[in-house]
Amino acid sequence: MSIIRPRINDFHGIPLLQEDVDFAIPFLDEDIPLYLDPFLLWKSPSMQDNSLHLNIVNSFNHLGFEFLKGNQTDSIHNLIQLSECNEVGFGNSKTRKGKKIGKKLATKVFNLFNSIPQLNQAGFTHFEEIQLLVDNFSRDRVSDIACNFLQSFLIDFTIQQCEKFGIPLEKVKMEYIYDPKKHTFLTETTYLPTNPETKDPILFVPKRWLRFIPWINSDDYFKEFYVKEIHDPKEAFPDRIELLDFNRHNYDLVKNYVEIKEKKFEHCKVDPLFNQIPVTSANRKLSTIEKLPTGKTDNSDKKYEDSMCQLIASLVYPQLDFAKEQSRTESGVLIRDLIFYNNRSFDFLKDIYEDYDCKQIVMELKNVKELEREHIQQINRYLNDQFGRFGIIITRKPPLQKIFRNTIDLWSGQRRCILILDDSDIKMMVQVFNSKQRLPVEVIKKKFIEFIRACPS
């Protein structure tokens, strides 16, 4: 795949906006930095979600009770198998490949059913509590185990979404689908979207279940509960291992914390894959940018790039989904780029996709006093099959006529379109963003129309 950070729909040339679909659009070559949070299923108004949560907890507790009965080998093997779900691609892996837990950690988890009387009798109501009781059992394990318990549902959900949006399906063999009735793994041949490089199956997960950090988590427990309710200020803070040991020996306190989290369930919100900055923040970012000197004085180029990255990504959302910011070196100069997926969600975006083969839009940031010919050539060398023949330079002042003429010549000779946005254009985008009457991306469309009108017919 030639584009940056490709997604499943990009590979198949299907224009999708993340905001418009019910699932997190998977990347093909890396994980999505989100996690399934079982608590969102527990608190959901949907009876289906509540039932799925009950299946997760009952299935996990069944493994623990089988361990207590003496079926330790099977329970440990099953938990290890459940501890990684590459098909959903959640976490921080750059390869969509994670590692399962080992036998030692699985044994520690099941020993909780032996050492904690309440778990021995009734099991968990929220198995995310294990983060507060066992070292190295983190949010990615909570998410992956939940996803594996839900694989049967996720397969049906994925097929439904693929049929809705025309995403191709391929015949695949799923070897470890958990059956909550028989508490065994089944092998099933089905049809799912696949990674075009590896042919590994891909599962979609509803956005309504996703958070960056589970609602029940160790950092929140320590800061909001242990420090405020339990810790004696006269004593030193325990280290992580000491705190986990304390929690295991004082499980009633852990339950108290969980009950508090349950009562505050209305505050548990889904984390979107992208958050727009609010209007007040957009105004502050613009004010910061306008006050910055050009060049590198007092690190102003870095400050300019940081503010512009956050501002532009919000101004063009949701018409453009942010793909990545990256730095590259050309002729000894470090260049900061913003890259967006061209979802063809707007007439102008559809035009540049068709006329300039623009699969992704690259925006180059230049905090310079005056744009030079070499700056035009830098982005021109970057416009190839990967991005197409359309790019944007964001800089401080309108270009001199000879520089603008250079972009016209590139269009005449190579049919490449390079737009130049300056501070006044960014200010107009922020004003439009504030008004909510029109779309900031229309300012870019306006610059595009002006550029085309200036080109020879």
Domain annotation covers residue 217: yes
E strands in 202-318 = 210-211
Q: Are residues 384 and 236 in the same domain?
A: no
The percent of residues in the chain predicted with pLDDT above 70, rounded, is 99
Domain annotation covers residue 1: no
Using the Cα atoms of residue 19, residue 24, residue 27 and residue 33 in order, give the sign of their dihedral.
positive
Domain finish residue from 228, 246, 267: 267
Q: Are residues 334 and 219 in the same domain?
A: no
Domain annotation covers residue 3: no
Q: How far apart, in whole angstroms, are the C-alpha atoms of residue 83 and residue 127?
A: 13
Q: How far apart, in whole angstroms, are the C-alpha atoms of residue 131 and residue 244?
A: 9
Q: How far is CA 242 from the centre of its chain?
A: 33
Domain annotation covers residue 311: yes
Q: Are residues 256 and 217 in the same domain?
A: yes
Amino acid at 232: D
Domain annotation covers residue 272: no
Domain finish residue from 207, 237, 267: 267
Q: Are residues 98 and 126 in the same domain?
A: yes
Q: Are residues 328 and 245 in the same domain?
A: no
Q: How far apart, in whole angstroms, are the C-alpha atoms of residue 276 and residue 310?
A: 9
pLDDT at 406 over 60: yes
Domain annotation covers residue 433: yes
Q: Are residues 377 and 260 in the same domain?
A: no
Q: Are residues 215 and 317 in the same domain?
A: no
Contacts of 48 (CB under 8 A, 6+ apart): none
Domain annotation covers residue 273: no
Q: Whole domain around residue 315: which residue ranges? A: 279-454
Q: Are residues 235 and 341 in the same domain?
A: no
The closest alpha carbon to 177, from 81, 90, 99, 98, belongs to 81
CATH number at 365 reads 3.40.91.50
Q: Are residues 306 and 186 in the same domain?
A: no
Q: How far apart, in whole angstroms, are the C-alpha atoms of residue 57 and residue 38?
A: 9
* Number of domains observed in the structure of the chain: 2
Alpha-helix runs per DSSP H in 91-182: 103-115, 117-122, 139-149, 151-165
Q: Are residues 331 and 447 in the same domain?
A: yes
Q: Are residues 65 and 188 in the same domain?
A: yes
Enclosing H/E stretch for 339: strand 333-341
Q: Are residues 231 and 302 in the same domain?
A: no
Per-residue pLDDT tens digits for 66-98: 999 999 999 999 999 999 999 999 988 877 888
Per-residue pLDDT tens digits for 170-191: 999 999 999 988 889 999 999 9
Alpha-helix runs per DSSP H in 31-133: 38-43, 47-69, 72-82, 103-115, 117-122
Per-residue pLDDT tens digits for 194-223: 999 899 999 999 999 999 999 999 999 999
Contacts of 138 (CB under 8 A, 6+ apart): 131
Per-residue pLDDT tens digits for 19-72: 999 999 999 988 988 999 999 999 999 999 999 999 999 999 999 999 999 999
Per-residue model confidence (pLDDT) at position 4: 82
Domain finish residue from 238, 267, 296: 267
